Structure 1
């Protein structure tokens, strides 16, 4: 068992956070996860804590990525030792790119975890057919990620079943009916009167498009 007696309280909590992530899912947290979990605004602030833990011999790091953290006495609970340490659903997050005026290229040492974004409990995927949501940048053939729930707030983009037919629209509840509004000026909304059967299947949380 690692000796944490020489750590500050913040270092000890970060160390336990890293230990838990490795144990539960098989790989360590990203810099962004650590920053978010401990309200550390700067990536450099996170890196300082990681360097301190490494210097005290409590963690090992391969390269600069927080994802490469290992702890000698910690093994994943649910990942075979024969499996790779890194998730196949992660990508290097290297920085920002301008979609307007050019910006300075600044290197960023982080990781984008697609599983954490889209594969949480209660999430499912659907392939879009049609262009009723094109003005929300959701096109025919896109994959939408839906969080399963049976309620929605006004303005949510939902998957709804109306009279046993499924549609992706913006949910608006009026006093005496529900409007399912498209994001396409050439299409009319679906008006759901009280005598019609409507069921909310989930709320949109992401869109995936392969170019």
Structure 2
């Protein structure tokens, strides 16, 4: 039944009436369809308004976990577009992020942060509401390009430092915006 409702919703079709549910499921009685819908409602899978036609809807369950928004250069900054959004199923509160909606994750690309133990392929968990401090690892937008680096603040001036001597410091020509402060690195070990 739920797959039928998903199919209708994806096609932009109106919700089915009880007779259409009977036809779809091979029921003889609309009473059987009503009982099924009531069970789905009690389970939290659907909502509807009794006594009104075509109000059946799939229940929208809140998304959980942390969105994985793509990748970030840990090398020279780039402006790579964000790909499809996945969600990592863990609680950001366990990593010191006070508001779960401020948490996001990015996959590390490159080797400029190996001195701080961020390696190519790692996932970095970031907090967009944390106030960045000197020596924090940050996801930054510098002159319209994204990168993962250590924030350095001296005498009121801020720049980004790589944690690999093969890479230079990055001093903003125009603009430096901190997108998030790193709270954790997640490394998947090969079996």
Q: TM-score per shorter chain, which class? A: 0.3 to 0.5
Larger-gyration structure (1/2): 2
Higher RCO (C-alpha 8 Å, min separation 6): 2
Give TM-score, length-normalised by structure 1: 0.43
Structure number having the greater strand percentage: 2
